[in-house]
């Protein structure tokens, strides 16, 4: 029997037991009153329990986490980690960027500047400028957020399970600064079948000629000034 049917079966048994003439005949008048009040209370508790169980079963079925390897960022392979205090991040980022990148927020669908951008180029992390996605892998998913089939380098992305909103999803973050980018789903086009659903505010678009291979943009964004400790 499927686990989803168990709460329903228990409820049916209790209802039958509650209205069984045989049970009522076995009880006296005073016992009937106590029995009726007890059963009413129990039935209410059971209904709430069934609703909770059914909700848990439903949301558990919405598991969209992917079996993606958690890449090890060993020396010489992944990007060198950077770590700043939250005060420093607030000084570096706009309030909107901070909400997305550091507080794991989500911008409204179709609100981002990069959603329908089609020019060739590279999308870098808005917090640390690590190259993350290429325009060659960008496509219109009709979801309202910039979508990509794969990252520029697998080691530039880290994956974590996200269980907010009672739904299991796979969160993607920048491998250099651990900033939140968005989520990845298994409903993308070939050849990967993946959809990296990324917030526009988590990215900065750079023209292809302005990006060094596996490096930082030649033209830095407004949050990375000459005295920036992140500059190499």
State the SS3 of 131-157. Answer: EEEEHHHEECCCCCCCEECCCCCHHHE
Please tell me the distance from the alpha carbon of residue 55 to that of residue 202, in angstroms, as a whole number.
33
State the SS3 of 160-184. Answer: EEECHHHCCEEEEEECCCCCEEEEE
Please tell me the distance from the alpha carbon of residue 155 to that of residue 112, in angstroms, as a whole number.
26
Q: Considering just the CA atoms, what is the radius of gyration of the chain in Å?
A: 27
What are the tokens at 172?
A: 């993607």
For the question of residue 128 being annotated catalytic, the response is no
Q: Which of 125, 174, 177, 197 is catalytic?
A: 197
The β-bridge partners of 157 are: 174
DSSP state of 229: T
CB burial class (10 A; 0-12, 13-18, 19+) of residue 231? Answer: exposed
Please tell me the distance from the alpha carbon of residue 98 to that of residue 162, in angstroms, as a whole number.
19
Return the residue matching tokens 């205090």.
Answer: 85
SS3 179: coil
E strand or H helix that includes residue 124: strand 121-125
The β-bridge partners of 139 are: 147
Q: Which residues are catalytic?
A: 197
């Amino acid at each position: 029997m499927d686990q989803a049917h168990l709460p329903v079966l228990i409820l049916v048994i209790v209802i039958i037991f509650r209205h069984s003439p045989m049970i009522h005949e076995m009880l006296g008048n005073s016992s009937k009153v106590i029995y009726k009040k007890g059963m009413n209370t129990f039935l209410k508790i059971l209904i709430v329990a069934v609703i909770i169980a059914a909700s848990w079963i439903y949301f558990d079925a919405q598991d969209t986490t992917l079996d993606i390897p958690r890449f090890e960022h060993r020396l010489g392979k992944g990007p060198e980690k950077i770590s700043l205090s939250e005060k420093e991040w607030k000084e570096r980022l706009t309030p909107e960027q901070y909400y997305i990148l550091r507080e794991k927020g989500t911008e409204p669908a179709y609100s981002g500047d990069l959603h329908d951008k089609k020019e060739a180029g590279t999308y870098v992390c808005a917090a640390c400028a690590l190259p993350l996605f290429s325009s060659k892998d960008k496509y219109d998913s009709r979801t309202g957020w910039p979508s990509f089939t794969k990252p520029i380098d697998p080691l530039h992305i880290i994956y974590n399970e996200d269980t907010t909103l009672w739904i299991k999803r796979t969160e993607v973050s920048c491998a250099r600064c651990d900033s939140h980018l968005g989520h990845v789903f298994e409903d993308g086009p070939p050849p990967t079948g993946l959809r990296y659903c990324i917030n526009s505010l988590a990215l900065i678009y750079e023209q292809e000629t302005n990006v060094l291979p596996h490096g930082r943009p030649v033209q830095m964004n407004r949050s990375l000034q000459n005295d920036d400790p992140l500059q190499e």
